[in-house]
Structure 1
């Protein structure tokens, strides 16, 4: 038995270490600059020497978080990535999310693993469709949001107009912490609202290193930029009048968002954002289990698998599960229990991740992201625990809107094809559907967005040497159903019932909503259950 004094010491250390953790995601509409900001944050934390941007832009190197070949070639993030580093004695777990709406399921899974989110707004575009939907997801999950207005060094809209749009459109009260001197495209520097201190910035060549920051007194700033300084003082006075000031309670409750301005590409305002995350973002807290009971931070070790990824190391075709530690002290080598199967899971090969780079991790605490290698039995949404059984809520699959039959081009490659399809399904890269009629040689891929098909075909060819053909199916709507309904629905035209690999659920596919409504009216007693809509985060 563990000595009570030792147990108390362990509990105290868990609580203390957890307080040092900040686990957050960077989310936004495509092209708002998420991956660039991720690089800039790592640069300012001094864990990389120079920032890279999307491949092909001014010859700069590829983004650290975009490690997949397809991401580097296309200049978009199609998979979430984890960067863990230390800043100001705090352990930062930074999750970069896919930029394209077709990969919204991956973004949703990431939001199940974080304690806060940084939402980027493009200074010229403001709230875009995916931005709106991601705010809704953060609100529904109780994830507090810090807003960073990006690209202020380029022409854009007025700062007050952007803040008004945020409040009027999504009901989040903006609380600016910094204020720009100069309109978008004429960015001179940043004013601290609380102290009035003004900092001017000189952008480094190519934006690969930190911008030079110089504190300038008010009199000098007013003399150098009289009109911009006067305008900024008027705007700051207006913000004070309307009560747009920092309120921790409103931030944590999700009713208000602190706002900062800057440019990720020019590395301006990024250090202030990093400090804000350390000072204001919440540390990990007790997480509710599937029955709604909070799992104390000091409870025995437990964690939620929110992502499974293969192909990160070309030299070793292993499969890594990303585990968010929810309680207790994780030690490499400890034996955890897989809540779904009740089977033991060894953690001998536990790793800390920085993009595609890995280092062995000996211990971790709530909020940390641990990579578990050779995790062939794990899927996103699984729970692992030690000693005291627990299961956290699963992560739902979204309603697919695109469907295609996939087949191996070469019959001699069927073994590789089957292995690849199984692995991609377990990673939740795409939903795999099957039926006795089509057989295992022709499974159906179900996607939230069509780019998921490109990821599947690319990975099957490059990782498994299994080129494939895709034949699109004429379905647009999916509903959960059951075995009883399968017999009836299979006899209907413009309808098909398939089983999902991940959980064995039956999915009824319809050519369109009109056809589904007709069949539903014809068979009112059959099960037609809507799935979570991918469009909520796409």
Structure 2
């Protein structure tokens, strides 16, 4: 059991859109032997798209819309990757994914540096003390000075950086990377399919000049001296305590610097760690199984209309066909076909260990945040839904297909991509999201996956907040006064839909005994 836990590495890849997360994921799979040819995402002649982007809408837009889970074996380690959407409209999916991983790789674009979305995601990592490794991508394009980038990382992400590889020039003159962690020189030949050659070379010898030229050799020696002078020596414990972030340079598209990152990552990244439940701390080596649902996806297989719930195993061994308790409903469930993933391809498994992500067939029994145990009453927390910022009425555009529309809306809302509120005044359904792109995705998926058409109608709202009170009289009074703006969410809780910031402030001032919550976890 302990061997199995030790060899697990579960991590998420996060970044701003277009920094190259999905490309990096593909290259990891290439090294893990899971795919033979990396899909050139941008090239229309090769109609291959990224393995981890499997929804039609992802293939059309070239962006990731939903977190996908992939696993492979590499040099004796079992690696579980969660490739997350970078686009801020899907941030909630990414925040939830971060609760299920033990470490994170952040991808930064070498020309643009740290962007807004990366900062936000780093805050979540800091809150949870998740160790991070930073990969500076696109070194084969003209970009900024590596030292400037490192300063910016330290300043913007509020974490100490320590380079473990160093680029030799960049852009058109890019010659490769010196791997500080292994003391090897990696020479660059732009090739998307093959891996570059490694040369063991003494940094102070004449041989270095032969490989990269006298001028670059001189600059490399000076840079490395500066790196050793400025940055303290790398210590694995500092990284695991989330005090220091190791930094690698490379080009994911051209397969460069990726293997160095992977080799170092599997050696230093933490294996599954203890997780805090509300009742107690759960340790991975405990004999009894515990796990929680952090994501639900509808229609992974369009032919079957099935939902899959993603369960992160926290302790013990998950065994197929064993009865487990769903703590929220207090019902026992068995799974005859639990699966493990390679994005959309999945295979049935008989057992899973802490750190693994298991796909459980879901016919409406799960909600995000559910805990599964061997019978113990446990609650894992920290899976918030945030208050949405954009709202639209959803209307049926094809009266003959109202059943399909209702089913589609219900399943998509269970995924947690958006939130559904039913206005108690007129019974109309309102969908709230964190970004505009979500509405397009919902409409597209309803049409293509459920054969239902919807149209959006504008509704002017500022914020949705959950309300509760110990004073029933005051709550009733509040609901009567605000009856046009009251709604219930999918779980039947009261929600106040404020149409402006001023109205919300006034309500908070007038009704002292009512609590207004801006996340659904209270």
Question: Which range, TM-score by smaller chain?
Answer: over 0.9
Cα distance in 1 between the residues matched to 2:382 and 2:183? 47
1:155 aligns with 2:145: no
The SS at the match of 1:482 is strand
Partner residue of 2:196?
212
Cα distance in 1 between the residues matched to 2:231 and 2:418? 46
**Residue 22 of structure 1 contacts residue 367 of structure 1 at CA under 8 Å; is this kept in 2?**
yes
- The one of 90, 97, 122 equivalent to 2:109 is 122
Partner residue of 2:347?
359
Alignment of 1:98-137 (within 5 A): 98-137=85-124
**Residue 164 of structure 2 contacts residue 247 of structure 2 at CA under 8 Å; is this kept in 1?**
yes
**Residue 67 of structure 2 contacts residue 93 of structure 2 at CA under 8 Å; is this kept in 1?**
yes
1:66 aligns with 2:53: yes
* Structure 1 residue 525, shift from structure 2 partner: 3.6
Which range moves more in the overlay, 305-314 or 176-185? Answer: 176-185
Cα distance in 1 between the residues matched to 2:460 and 2:220? 56
Cα distance in 1 between the residues matched to 2:480 and 2:417? 27
Cα distance in 1 between the residues matched to 2:382 and 2:116? 26
Deviations 1:52-104 (A, max 9, x none): 13354563510000000000011100100001111111111000001210001
Cα distance in 2 between the residues matched to 1:486 and 1:278? 57
Cα distance in 2 between the residues matched to 1:261 and 1:67? 28
Cα distance in 1 between the residues matched to 2:357 and 2:50? 20
Cα distance in 1 between the residues matched to 2:493 and 2:40? 42
- The one of 475, 500, 506 equivalent to 2:489 is 500
**Residue 167 of structure 2 contacts residue 176 of structure 2 at CA under 8 Å; is this kept in 1?**
yes
Unaligned runs of 5+ in 2: none
Partner residue of 1:19?
6
1:450 aligns with 2:439: no
Normalising by structure 2, report the TM-score: 0.94
Partner residue of 1:474?
460
**Residue 425 of structure 2 contacts residue 485 of structure 2 at CA under 8 Å; is this kept in 1?**
no
Deviations 1:344-381 (A, max 9, x none): 11111101110110111111100001111234211221
**Residue 487 of structure 2 contacts residue 496 of structure 2 at CA under 8 Å; is this kept in 1?**
yes
Q: Structure 1 pair 196/84, CA: closer, same or farther in 2 (3 Å)?
A: closer
* Structure 1 residue 452, shift from structure 2 partner: 1.2
Partner residue of 1:255?
243
What is the aligned length? Answer: 513
Partner residue of 2:478?
488
**Residue 296 of structure 2 contacts residue 368 of structure 2 at CA under 8 Å; is this kept in 1?**
yes
Q: Structure 1 pair 526/131, CA: closer, same or farther in 2 (3 Å)?
A: same
Alignment of 1:268-279 (within 5 A): 268-279=256-267
**Residue 272 of structure 2 contacts residue 284 of structure 2 at CA under 8 Å; is this kept in 1?**
no
The SS at the match of 2:485 is strand
Q: Structure 1 pair 135/185, CA: closer, same or farther in 2 (3 Å)?
A: farther
Superposition RMSD in Å: 2.0
**Residue 167 of structure 1 contacts residue 174 of structure 1 at CA under 8 Å; is this kept in 2?**
yes
Q: Structure 1 pair 60/411, CA: closer, same or farther in 2 (3 Å)?
A: closer
Alignment of 1:373-384 (within 5 A): 373-384=361-372
Normalising by structure 1, report the TM-score: 0.91
Q: Structure 1 pair 276/27, CA: closer, same or farther in 2 (3 Å)?
A: same
1:316 aligns with 2:300: no
Q: Structure 1 pair 308/180, CA: closer, same or farther in 2 (3 Å)?
A: same
Cα distance in 1 between the residues matched to 2:480 and 2:128? 37
Q: Structure 1 pair 518/186, CA: closer, same or farther in 2 (3 Å)?
A: farther
1:413 aligns with 2:385: no
* Structure 1 residue 482, shift from structure 2 partner: 2.9
The SS at the match of 2:240 is helix
Cα distance in 2 between the residues matched to 1:352 and 1:212? 31
1:329 aligns with 2:317: yes
**Residue 44 of structure 1 contacts residue 210 of structure 1 at CA under 8 Å; is this kept in 2?**
no
1:177 aligns with 2:177: no
Q: Structure 1 pair 487/412, CA: closer, same or farther in 2 (3 Å)?
A: farther
* Structure 1 residue 419, shift from structure 2 partner: 1.1
Cα distance in 2 between the residues matched to 1:349 and 1:438? 43
Which range moves more in the overlay, 480-489 or 156-165? Answer: 480-489
Unaligned runs of 5+ in 1: 1-13, 534-538
Cα distance in 2 between the residues matched to 1:185 and 1:413? 56
The SS at the match of 2:515 is coil
Partner residue of 2:327?
339
Cα distance in 1 between the residues matched to 2:147 and 2:200? 24
Q: Structure 1 pair 473/280, CA: closer, same or farther in 2 (3 Å)?
A: same
The SS at the match of 1:528 is strand
